[in-house]
């Protein structure tokens, strides 16, 4: 009996232990499966969270590196249209510059033929506006400005130059018919000062009158008779400013003896450079006459070699007038010539 009970107990214990191991194994397997399911779920959640930005980045990348064919065509068409519009604008302003240049030269030629100075001294007739002519004056600089232009900016600058020269030419033409005395304010002076918005001290030179007038805030304070550049050595028309001052100096020619523009070493008392290249307002002690006609060949009782014609481009004044101008102007003083 005991043996049978023990044997029964032994069999029962074995079955119970086997059942426990099976249960434990099932629980372990179930736990592993749950862990795997949990990790799989987290991966899916992570994929859902990350995928929008990921796909957006891919979309941007595709746009940058693999643009749509129609987008490329649209961009190329826009660039082509912009280039066509630029060329059309460039063509338009080039024509405008050339037309304005032709208008300028035509007006200079026509007015010069109708308004001339007959020189009784040598019997020769001279155009009164030779300073603007392309052969005897500075008109050729307008041609160079237009011919050397290639961009919109360059053509715009050339047009500004032509318009400014036309403005000064019109001032000369108006001054020709002005009967106001040379030592009184002139309408052309005032018009140019308004055009350039000039205030303070302003020196204005009239080639027609061979006169210089000094204004302060639009009021005339002093006037002189002058002699400007001769035919072929014209004084430049425009707006400038005094950039150099020389006192008791010597002017020396930069061309060799025998050249038409040569002159001997010349002592100068008061000199104010108003344009680069050696264009000065200065005294000319070798002259006795100033005023109308002195820029052309004439008789001068001083008897000096260079007294009987115009200057080499400078504005000549008497010694006392040059001294006053030197004392009453400074660096930056505006100078308008027409």
154 has a pLDDT exceeding 70: yes
Average per-residue pLDDT for the chain: 87
Using a pLDDT cut of 70, give the percent of the chain over it: 80
- Helix H, strand E, coil C: the string for the chain is CHHHHHHHHHHHHHHHHHHHHHHHHHHHHHHHHHHHHHHHHHHHHHHHHHHHHHHHHHHHHHHHHCCCHHHHHHHHHHHHHHHHHHHHHHHHHHHHHHHHHHHHHHHHHHHHHHCEEEECCCCEEEECCHHHCCCCCCCHHHHHHHHCCCCHHHHHHHHHHHHHHHHHHHHHHHHHCCCCCCCCCCHHHHHHHHHCCCCCEEEEEECCCCEEEEEECCEEEEEEECECECCCCCCCCEEEECCEEEEEEEECCCCCCCCCCCCCCEEEEEEEEEECCCEEEEECCCCCCCCCCCCCCCCCCCCCCCCCCCECCCEEECHHHHHHHHHCCCCCCEEEEC
pTM: 0.76
Residue 53 is predicted with a pLDDT of: 47
pLDDT at position 52 is: 45
Confidence tier at 303 by pLDDT (50, 70, 90): confident
Task: Give the model's confidence band at 261: pLDDT under 50 very low, under 70 low, under 90 confident, else very high.
Answer: confident
Could you tell me the CATH superfamily of domain 183-337?
Answer: L,D-transpeptidase catalytic domain-like (2.40.440.10)
pLDDT higher than threshold 70 for residue 314: yes
Question: Which pLDDT tens digit goes with each residue over 80-134?
Answer: 888 899 999 999 999 999 999 999 999 999 999 999 999 999 999 999 999 999 9
Higher pLDDT, 83 or 155: 155
pLDDT tens readout for residues 34-78: 665 555 555 554 444 444 444 444 554 555 555 567 788 888 888
């Amino acid at each position: 009996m005991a043996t049978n009970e023990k044997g029964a107990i032994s069999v029962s214990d074995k079955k119970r232990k086997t059942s426990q191991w099976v249960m434990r194994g099932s629980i372990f397997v179930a736990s592993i499966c749950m862990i795997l399911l949990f990790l799989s779920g987290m991966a899916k959640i992570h994929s859902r969270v990350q995928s929008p930005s990921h796909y957006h980045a891919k979309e941007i990348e595709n746009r940058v590196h693999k643009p749509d064919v129609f987008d490329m065509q649209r961009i190329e068409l826009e660039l082509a249209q912009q280039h066509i519009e630029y060329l059309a604008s460039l063509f338009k302003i080039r024509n405008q510059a050339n037309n304005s240049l032709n208008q300028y030269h035509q007006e200079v030629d026509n007015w010069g033929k109708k308004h001339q100075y007959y020189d009784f001294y040598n019997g020769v007739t001279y155009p009164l506006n030779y300073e603007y002519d392309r052969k005897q004056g500075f008109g050729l600089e307008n041609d160079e400005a237009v011919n050397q232009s290639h961009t919109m900016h360059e053509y715009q600058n050339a047009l500004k130059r032509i318009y400014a020269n036309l403005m000064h030419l019109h001032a000369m033409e108006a001054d020709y018919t002005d009967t106001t005395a040379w030592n009184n304010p002139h309408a052309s002076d005032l018009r140019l000062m308004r055009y350039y918005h000039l205030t303070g001290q302003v020196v204005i030179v009239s080639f027609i009158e061979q006169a210089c007038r000094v204004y302060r805030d639009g009021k005339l304070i002093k006037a002189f008779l002058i002699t400007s550049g001769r035919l072929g050595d014209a004084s430049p028309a425009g707006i400038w400013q005094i950039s150099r001052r020389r006192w008791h100096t010597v002017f020396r020619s930069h061309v060799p003896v025998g050249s038409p523009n040569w002159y001997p070493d010349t002592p100068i008392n008061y000199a104010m450079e108003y344009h680069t290249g050696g264009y000065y307002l200065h005294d000319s002690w070798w002259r006795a006459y100033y005023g109308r006609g002195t820029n052309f060949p004439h008789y001068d009782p001083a008897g000096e070699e260079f007294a009987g014609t115009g200057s080499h481009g400078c504005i000549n004044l008497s010694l006392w007038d040059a001294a006053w101008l030197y004392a009453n102007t400074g660096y930056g003083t505006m100078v308008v010539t027409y």
